[in-house]
Amino acid sequence: MSAPVSAHDIELVSPPGRGPRILIYSHDTFGLGHLRRSRAIANRLIQSHPDASILIISGSPVIGSFDFAHGVDYVRVPGVVKLPDGSYTTHSLNMALDQAVAMRQGIILESCRTLSPDLVIVDKEPTGFRGELLPALAKLKADGARIVLGVRDVMDAPEALVPEWERKGAISALVEFYDAIWVYGLQDFYEPLAALPLPPAFRQRISYTGYLRREVPTRRPLTRYPRLTRRPFILVTPGGGGDGHEMIDWVLSAYEHDRHLPNPALIVFGPFLARESRARFLERIALLPDVEALTFDSGMEHLMNAAASVISMGGYNTFCEILSLDKRALIIPRRSPRLEQTIRTEQACRLGLIQYLDGANLHPGAVRDPMEMAQAIRALPDQPLPSSAFLPNMLDGLPRIDTLTAPWLGRPQMTVRRRVARTGVAE
């Protein structure tokens, strides 16, 4: 009787006429970070494997606003959103959250069955949103797919991350289903999983890729930019915008109190900023000759490349863009519901990559000093460029992912068989 086949004993066997198949799971309960990270990885992998088929499973309501390379497509599952108290609800459907999760789970499982991927990259959540990924993981593992967890450089404070992962059963899922963990950052910058009680043997499967470099797309967006972008300007971006109200308010107050700031500002609200907040901000901006606004731009790389400097909240993707395009940046990191942005920002400031203001000022009801922001804006042109403080291999994330996937995707999988044993006999 043959012994069970484990994922580490599987040899990938090339079938004729079939390119690699890759599935990327991005649960997307809030903001744009997971989606934009998954898109960057998918577009890179399709460059290296033009015959591949890559499917992104996402809950983002704005995924259709982004361009994807030929060979990359997506399936959108019903969206869910995080409420201010940390709980979740459905984004659009008038049904209970448990029913929406069951629907998402079914779509994910059927997508896995139909695609039959060789490689699966799971973004951040080892078990998926509320465990929705577990049935698919069992199916994928049985079929011999390689399964990787990809996590950003910082997850949360250890005292919050450890109980969260224990509650979700994330560590047991990692050990049972996953072949590797990729950290999209540098070990010298931060070790996001250091506090987790991972088995020593499994900890050897962690690879630090470096940050994911962003390039300016050759295709120009259709968005018409305001005239102030024809001279040096500050790009103000709260990412998705769902929690960006306080940061935008603080920046606007600086321009209202100091009418002689050296550079104009272009504020990109983000698609998730509340409509009421956007309307109130536009009323204030109409009175400021040196401030303009856009609601959303899916080609933010173009805007950031044109900007003289950036003010942001310090999410992972914006941080990658700041490093990639070598922009002087002022970051105001949020402190809730996670300390992720604060930890990243403090580490980056310690290394001399950016400057920051205390994110405690973003708490609703906080008293924010307009002149503190104005002073920080005035200091932006004198900051060193981030490139003067880069760590080795800082932006090598995408090439590193190419290297890590080459043994798996060089010969796409159709059938599963054992590797040849030392006796030279294949089963």
The pLDDT score that the predictor gives to residue 291 is 97
Question: Where on the phi/psi map is residue 92: left (φ > 0), alpha (ψ -120 to 50), or beta?
Answer: alpha
What is the band of 21 on the pLDDT scale with cuts at 50, 70, 90? very high
Phi-psi region of 169 (alpha: psi -120 to 50; beta: other; left: phi over 0): left
Please spell the DSSP secondary structure of 168-184, one letter per residue.
HTHHHHHHHH-SEEEEE
| CB contact set of 326 (below 8 Å; sequence gap of 6+) | 385, 386, 387
Of 325 and 2, the structure prediction assigns the larger pLDDT to 325
Task: Report which of residues 271 and 344 the model is more confident about.
Answer: 344
pLDDT reported for residue 85: 65
Tokens of 182: 């990729």
Other residues' Cβ atoms within 10 Å of the Cβ of residue 147: 25
Taking residues 299-327, report their average pLDDT.
Answer: 94
Is it the case that residue 5 has pLDDT exceeding 50?
Answer: no
**What pLDDT score does 2 carry?**
39
Return the structure tokens found at 162: 């450890």
SS3 (DSSP) at 267: strand
pLDDT digits 0-9 by tens, 43-56: 999 999 999 999 99
Q: What percent of the chain has pLDDT over 90?
A: 72
- Confidence (pLDDT) at 221: 67
pLDDT at 99 over 80: yes
Which pLDDT score, from 0 to 100, does residue 14 have? Answer: 41
Kindly provide the b/e burial profile for residues 27-66, where b requires at least 16 CB atoms within 10 angstroms of the residue's own CB.
Answer: bbbbbbbbbbbbbbbbbbbbebbeebbbbbbbbbbbbeeb
What pLDDT, on the 0 to 100 scale, is given for residue 6?
42
Q: What is the pLDDT of residues 350-375, one digit of tens each?
A: 999 999 999 989 988 889 999 999 99
**Helix or strand run (H / E) with residue 121:** strand 119-123
Three-state DSSP at 330 gives strand
CB 181 within 8 A of CB 156: no
**Rounded to whole angstroms, how far apart are CA atoms 148 and 229?**
41
Q: How far apart are CA 314 and CA 330, in angstroms?
A: 9
Which residues make Cβ contacts (< 8 Å) with residue 87, sequence separation at least 6?
none
Dihedral, CA of residue 174, residue 343, residue 66 and residue 326, to nearest 10? -130
Which is it for the CA torsion 48, 49, 50, 53, positive or negative? negative
User: Among 31-35, 88-92, 326-330, where is mean pLDDT lowest?
Assistant: 31-35
Separation between Cα atoms, residue 396 and residue 150, nearest integer Å = 15
Condensed to tens digits (0 to 9), the pLDDT of residues 218-246 reads 777 667 889 999 999 999 999 887 888 99
DSSP-derived letter for residue 298 is T
Sheet with 328-331, edge to edge strand ranges: 291-294, 265-268, 234-237, 309-312, 328-331, 355-356
Determine the Cα–Cα distance for residues 250 and 232; give it in Å rounded to an integer. 21
- In this prediction, residue 413 has a pLDDT band, given cuts at 50, 70 and 90, of very low
Rounded (5°) CA angle 189-193-197: 145
How does pLDDT run across 173-227, given as a tens digit for each residue?
999 999 999 999 999 999 999 999 999 989 999 999 999 999 888 777 667 889 9
In whole angstroms, give the CA distance from residue 233 to residue 213: 23
**pLDDT class of 86 with cuts at 50, 70, 90:** low
Residue 76 identity (one-letter amino acid)? R
Mean pLDDT of the chain: 88
Q: Pick the residue with more confidence: 144 or 271?
A: 144
Handedness of CA 120, 122, 128, 134 (dihedral sign): positive
What mean pLDDT comes out for the span 112-130?
96
10 pLDDT above the threshold of 60: no
Cα distances (Å, whole numbers) of residue 66 to 73, 104, 223, 240, 300: 11, 22, 13, 13, 11
pLDDT at 298: 76
Q: Is 293 helix (H, G, I), strand (E, B) or coil?
A: strand
Nearest in space to 151 (alpha carbons), one of 173, 182, 109: 182
pLDDT tops 60 at residue 411: no
Residue 218, C-beta contacts closer than 8 angstroms, at least 6 positions apart: none
What tens digit of pLDDT does each residue of 275-299 get?
Answer: 999 999 999 999 999 999 999 887 7
- pLDDT greater than 60 at residue 420: no
Region 21-32 average pLDDT: 81
Instruction: Compute the distance between CA of residue 185 and CA of residue 191 in angstroms, rounded to an integer.
Output: 9
Q: What is the pLDDT of residue 336?
A: 83
Domains of the chain: 7-213+395-418 (3.40.50.2000), 227-389 (3.40.50.2000)
Q: Is the pLDDT of residue 123 over 60?
A: yes
pLDDT value at position 240? 82
In this structure, how many other beta carbons lie within 10 angstroms of the beta carbon of residue 166? Answer: 13
pLDDT for 296: 85
> Looking at residue 163, what is its pLDDT?
96
